[in-house]
Structure 1
Amino acid sequence: MWSQFYLINFHFAVNLFAALTFFAIFWLHFDAWILRKTKLLTIRMTAYAVLSLGFLLHATIIESDILTSPLFGKDTINLISTVLLLLGYLALTVCHLFDPILPRPNTTEDQIITPALILTGNYTLIALNLFLMPIAAVSAGFMYLRRATIGLEDHLKPVAIGLLVLAVSHLLSISVFYRQIAVPFVYDLTRAYGLIWLVEHLIFLVGIMILAKWIFGYLLKQFGTQLFMIFTIVTTVIFLTTTITFTGLLTREIERVTIRQLETDVKVLAYGLNAKKDQSLSEAAVIANYPEIVEGVAAGSRKGMAEILFNHLTVKKLNTLVVVDANGQVLGRGEDSERIGDSLSGDTLIKRAIKGETVSSVISIDGLTAPVLVVKAAVPIIQSNSVIGAVQSGISIDASFTEELKKTTGLVTAVYGGERISVSSLDTQDIGGLINTSKNVAKTVLEQGKPFSGSVYIGNNLFYGAYLPVTDINNTVIGMLFTGTPQIEILHTVGRSVELTFVLTIILLIMTIIPAKLISGYITRQIV
């Protein structure tokens, strides 16, 4: 989750840097416009202001799979920022089409090529991102490159290179439309905050750094402008640092509260398991005190025993119900009336029940895809203060156990047999039998018998989870109890707060421009 959090803030910081850079270019043209108010200079100045605003709005965008309900509606800010960026690039292109080039010596007018720009049709947000945005950025870049190579304005080469690099970044942004393809490899490459997303933003950062190096080389040469830009940059850095720190602390606190709640929730799961132990003990005790059962065991008679055991097993939804004599020989089974006469004298619970103890334990039985945990209890059958036999009952921990807990408490849980998931209420298909892949969980819970809480993978999904060991009657760890929540849900929780923080930061930054200009102007007048 933290990697996504850092990338969200990286996206915000890079676009904020882009907005600041284009604002600086706008300010350079604004200074020139004050002295020479031409139409072309007005268009160029406005184009850079529009680009700055477009990147400023784009900074507030959080990917839709992180933020399920954006503050201003789905794709609204994305559409507005895309249109602004497109208009800015196109305005730069159109401006250069009508702005005559200063020819180099020995260059005729025939050698100066003026490309035609044709735009037709109505385009949706998808078309704007997929087609027009990189083309518009390339057009603007080539216009600057044309002036720098054919004409005499060599100083414009960094602008051309920067815009062309941004065009490559915009071209990579089309990967968002491949996220719906049901191919894991393609999704992993194109997903939000995935490899292509990261490459796109790194290329974007390189382009902005080229533009920033060029523009600040000009602006930091005039004292008044230098003061204004220093105030603006410092204010931006302060707001950016505050924003990242605040959202980080908010996310950390929600993470801490979530893990603490999961540590409580897993104890509820353990309570449910203990309730199964009590139920198994209770049902075994009922049969152990059943007159017909006591008389039958005392007489060594199986008459009517099978029917009693079967009816009780069926009504109480038990998985096993067995009656043995004092030697551990099976006299009756509720689940299989024909399977009698074998010996359970080696069973630990039966041994202790024959000695007069009432015991219960969780045991692990090998299943088809994963171990099955069964809660078993054994109660002695007593007649005239003597133990004449024992009753053993068992309840399997199956999917109904976790699903019932999910319905009554809302908890997402899993029960492990060893390192494999036996049953769970996780919304992931084919999760039964999955092996725990966390070495920390295996070492802490299975080896040391201690609770564990933190970040874990279940399958391919990252969870916050809490674990408790499951032990048998000998206090040997045979499995684990788990409660968890997907980490993406934590980002959903903090997403709205992070988005609101970004928006407020942008608003406050815009509001500081006028005071920064007034203060820098006042200081300049005092010195000059």
Structure 2
Amino acid sequence: MSSYFLVNNLHFAFGIIGAIVFLMMAWLSFDSYRLQKNNFSLLRLLGFAFVSLWQILDSFNASSDVLKYLGGIIFILGLIFIATSFFENKKLVANAIIVIPAFSLWSSSLNDISILLLLGIAYLAFRQYRKEYNHTWIPFIIGFVLLSVPYIINVIFLNLDQLSFVYILSISIELVSFLILGYWVWQYMRLRIHESFVMISVGITFLLATIVTLAFSTILIARVSNDTSLNLLSDVKVLNFAIEKIKDESLAKSAVVSLDKDLATAINKNDMVALEKVSENLLEKYNLDFLTIAGLDGGVLMRAHALSSRGDTILGERVFEEALLGNSIVTIDDSKVEGFSIRAGSPVLLKDKVIAVVVVGSQLDNAFADKLQKLTGLETFVYKGDISVASSALGSDGRTRLVGEKIYNDEVKNSVLNNGEIITSSGKIFGSLFHSSYAPLLNSDDKIVGMLSVAKPQQEIVDIANATNRLTLTTVMLIILVLSLPIYYLSKKYINSD
């Protein structure tokens, strides 16, 4: 299991621990409201319940923007309810805890509001501590301050990487704050036998459900990741085979085109009108991406796919040099006009003499990547050397192609570009994590000139894990709660009888 999935599971576990603490606070507030029937207890009850709900939502890393903003609103409302209750209470006593969880907000304004509210409540608690000299305020003052740290980190480090040390430090600080606040709550719970038993039962239920969920999720993610790697390897091998097939077809088509008598006649007579017509017909007839005709000096006589682009030269291209010697050849190379492409060249003969060269082939462009993506259902990338030149993947705007980025993964460079191996690796592409397989692209000299890659966003695997976590957690909790109900009623009867 990769580090990305491990951190995702840690985030889930810490979130559930936070939810347990907040649920304990909500229960104590509910008990206080039953006895006193005052507004501040009701406000705290609502605030803690909202915060607990948000902590559960956040632990599942919801990918929907709607759920993210809805969760942010729930969290802010919870803060407002708690802050309002703080001011309404004339004589503040510690019968409930003011706990505000940290979560990743997707709006900078919500993040700023959260920081202000957290530190504001910590300040009010500190002021009350100075007024009453009540040391029970100290743990949750510290807890509030620590809970504000992850928000401050989010403001300083925008788009924080989940695998970075700073992010792991952030969620670790969040966990410490949960434990401190949980300790404070337990000081009051242990004095109330009935409430203690209820909250211990609920807490154990959550913890057991979390442990089972994490164990199942870890096994599932490991299996899914392994299956994904095998599938990616299989798919990239299939696509690599497809590349070889296209190379063979291009070589055959170049030979057939070079044998066209009308083409040879037009070249021999230097009839540009006839040459244009013949070349366009051949381009359409053999479904070619491009068809270039060059003279013996390398000067381009005609480009059937780009009629206005002529007069330049392909002198120095490997396919031209070999075809000029009377050989047919196919390779993968770069061209000023066609770009990175599969290129096949053959000589045009007249009376056994080379009078010109034809170059045909397929461009390894975005359209090519789209075709391969339709075959596998996976995002496809084409690399010239270690730089992506074609991609089926789109950016966040839904229009921009993810091309032009250099591969910095040393494992990929060494294994694929240096040793010619086919491998699977995880890494970032334009800031998004992908699970990818890479295969080398070879020219006619078996020299590695680039790579072909198929990739699956790691978020898709995480979404599967989160969906499983939600289902498993809910199921296990229901089972444990049902099994613990008889024990609860028996203990309640025993306590009442005493």
Distance 1:389 1:264, change over 3 A: farther
Q: 1:309-320 residue pairs with structure 2 within 5 A?
A: 310-315=276-281, 316=283, 317-320=289-292
* Distance in 2 (alpha carbons) for counterparts of 1:462 and 1:344: 37
Which 5+ residue runs of structure 2 have no aligned equivalent?
95-108, 284-288, 304-308
Q: Determine if the alignment matches structure 1 residue 87 to structure 2 residue 76.
A: no
- Indicate if the aligned counterparts of 2:16 and 2:55 stay in contact, CA closer than 8 A: yes
| Aligned twin of 1:415 | 382
* Distance in 2 (alpha carbons) for counterparts of 1:471 and 1:235: 58
| Aligned twin of 1:458 | 429
| Aligned twin of 1:439 | 410
Q: Determine if the alignment matches structure 1 residue 165 to structure 2 residue 142.
A: yes
- Indicate if the aligned counterparts of 1:239 and 1:505 stay in contact, CA closer than 8 A: yes
SS in 1 for 2:344: strand
Q: How much does 1:15 deviate?
A: 1.2
- Indicate if the aligned counterparts of 2:253 and 2:360 stay in contact, CA closer than 8 A: no
1:201-237 superposed Cα distances (whole Å, 9 cap, x missing partner): 5444334333333444565689888766655544332
- Indicate if the aligned counterparts of 1:309 and 1:332 stay in contact, CA closer than 8 A: no
- Indicate if the aligned counterparts of 2:139 and 2:184 stay in contact, CA closer than 8 A: no
| Aligned twin of 2:91 | 97
Distance 1:260 1:416, change over 3 A: same
| Aligned twin of 1:109 | none
| Aligned twin of 1:53 | 49
* Distance in 2 (alpha carbons) for counterparts of 1:469 and 1:137: 58
Distance 1:400 1:53, change over 3 A: closer
Q: How many residues align?
A: 465
SS in 2 for 1:437: coil
Distance 1:305 1:288, change over 3 A: farther
SS in 1 for 2:290: coil
Q: 1:138-217 residue pairs with structure 2 within 5 A?
A: 138-140=123-125, 142-143=127-128, 146-147=131-132, 149=133, 156-157=134-135, 159-169=136-146, 171=148, 187-188=158-159, 201-216=171-186
Equivalent position amino acid for 2:21 in 1: A
* Distance in 1 (alpha carbons) for counterparts of 2:350 and 2:112: 86
Which 5+ residue runs of structure 1 have no aligned equivalent?
101-123, 150-155, 179-184
* Distance in 1 (alpha carbons) for counterparts of 2:188 and 2:93: 22
- Give the alignment partner of residue 281 of structure 1, picking from 215, 234, 251: 251
Q: 1:256-267 residue pairs with structure 2 within 5 A?
A: 256-267=226-237
Q: 1:385-404 residue pairs with structure 2 within 5 A?
A: 391-395=357-361, 396-404=363-371
- Indicate if the aligned counterparts of 1:294 and 1:382 stay in contact, CA closer than 8 A: yes
Distance 1:474 1:337, change over 3 A: same
SS in 1 for 2:58: coil
* Distance in 2 (alpha carbons) for counterparts of 1:161 and 1:500: 38
Distance 1:408 1:98, change over 3 A: closer
1:122-166 superposed Cα distances (whole Å, 9 cap, x missing partner): xx988974655553454355435533x1xxxxxx51x31232234
SS in 2 for 1:62: helix
Q: Determine if the alignment matches structure 1 residue 39 to structure 2 residue 36.
A: yes
Q: Determine if the alignment matches structure 1 residue 248 to structure 2 residue 214.
A: no
- Indicate if the aligned counterparts of 1:280 and 1:393 stay in contact, CA closer than 8 A: no
Q: How much does 1:290 deviate?
A: 1.9
Distance 1:80 1:442, change over 3 A: closer
1:157-214 superposed Cα distances (whole Å, 9 cap, x missing partner): 1x31232234335545766996xxxxxx75236x889888766654443343333334
SS in 1 for 2:408: coil
1:301-358 superposed Cα distances (whole Å, 9 cap, x missing partner): 822476555445445252523476xxxx76984348767998999967437x736xx5
* Distance in 2 (alpha carbons) for counterparts of 1:323 and 1:258: 50
Tell which deviates more after alignment, 206-215 or 514-523: 514-523
Tell which deviates more after alignment, 211-220 or 42-51: 42-51
* Distance in 1 (alpha carbons) for counterparts of 2:300 and 2:75: 77
1:8-39 superposed Cα distances (whole Å, 9 cap, x missing partner): 31442341342365368669x77xx9xxx963
TM-score (norm 1): 0.68
* Distance in 2 (alpha carbons) for counterparts of 1:445 and 1:341: 29
1:491-524 superposed Cα distances (whole Å, 9 cap, x missing partner): 4555555455556667677767755533545787
Distance 1:230 1:332, change over 3 A: closer
- Indicate if the aligned counterparts of 1:13 and 1:59 stay in contact, CA closer than 8 A: yes
* Distance in 2 (alpha carbons) for counterparts of 1:397 and 1:304: 32
Q: How much does 1:452 deviate?
A: 1.5
* Distance in 2 (alpha carbons) for counterparts of 1:167 and 1:254: 39
Q: How much does 1:287 deviate?
A: 2.8
Q: 1:333-482 residue pairs with structure 2 within 5 A?
A: 333-335=301-303, 349-350=322-323, 354=326, 358-364=328-334, 372-379=339-346, 391-395=357-361, 396-406=363-373, 411-428=378-395, 432-482=403-453
Distance 1:203 1:482, change over 3 A: closer
* Distance in 1 (alpha carbons) for counterparts of 2:126 and 2:479: 32
TM-score (norm 2): 0.71
Q: Determine if the alignment matches structure 1 residue 16 to structure 2 residue 10.
A: no
Equivalent position amino acid for 1:9 in 2: F
1:23-72 superposed Cα distances (whole Å, 9 cap, x missing partner): 68669x77xx9xxx9638x88876776565344312222389852166xx
Q: Pairwise CA RMSD of aligned residues? A: 5.0
- Indicate if the aligned counterparts of 1:287 and 1:391 stay in contact, CA closer than 8 A: no
* Distance in 1 (alpha carbons) for counterparts of 2:275 and 2:369: 27
Distance 1:480 1:402, change over 3 A: same
| Aligned twin of 1:107 | none
SS in 1 for 2:434: strand
Q: How much does 1:465 deviate?
A: 1.4
SS in 1 for 2:489: helix
SS in 1 for 2:251: helix
Distance 1:501 1:271, change over 3 A: same
Q: 1:499-518 residue pairs with structure 2 within 5 A?
A: 499=470, 501=472, 514-515=485-486, 517-518=488-489
Q: How much does 1:469 deviate?
A: 1.0
Equivalent position amino acid for 2:144 in 1: A
Distance 1:172 1:196, change over 3 A: farther
1:342-383 superposed Cα distances (whole Å, 9 cap, x missing partner): 8999967437x736xx54222345x69xx9433222446678
